Amino acid sequence: MIQIGTILVTLALSMALAAYILRPFQAETDDIETAIEERVAELRQEDPDEAQAQFCTQCGRRLGPDDRFCAQCGHPVGEAK
Ligand SMILES: [Zn+2]
């Protein structure tokens, strides 16, 4: 038979373990967000064409640098500028 004292001790240990596991995760949240922002900045620097990519104002399809019309819906590129 399980005694109430055993249950309380087990419960207390579980809560302590949970706090131990969650604490470092919460502490690293800001670091993760900073790392993501840095990685995005790196990607933009590595691929300037990606940052300058145009998208169809009609359907949202990505356009090539030499495209004059959207390949998907035929909307003229740059007309809406
Ligand atoms: Zn389009």
Q: Compute the distance from residue 65 Cα to the ligand 1 centre, in Å.
A: 14
Per-residue pLDDT, 81:
45
Verify that 68 and 41 share a domain, yes or no.
no
20 vs 78 pLDDT, higher one: 20
Mean pLDDT, range 9-16, rounded to an integer: 90
Rounded-to-integer distance, Cα 70 and Cα 77, Å: 6
Rounded-to-integer distance, Cα 74 and Cα 77, Å: 9
Verify that 32 and 60 share a domain, yes or no.
no
Verify that 34 and 62 share a domain, yes or no.
no
61 vs 25 pLDDT, higher one: 61
Mean pLDDT, range 53-72, rounded to an integer: 90
Verify that 32 and 10 share a domain, yes or no.
yes
Mean pLDDT, range 37-56, rounded to an integer: 76
Verify that 9 and 39 share a domain, yes or no.
yes
Verify that 38 and 58 share a domain, yes or no.
no
Range of the domain at 17: 4-46
Q: Compute the distance from residue 71 Cα to the ligand 1 centre, in Å.
A: 7
* pLDDT higher than threshold 70 for residue 34: yes
Q: Compute the distance from residue 77 Cα to the ligand 1 centre, in Å.
A: 9
Number of domains in the chain: 2
Looking at residue 16, the DSSP 8-state letter turns out to be: H
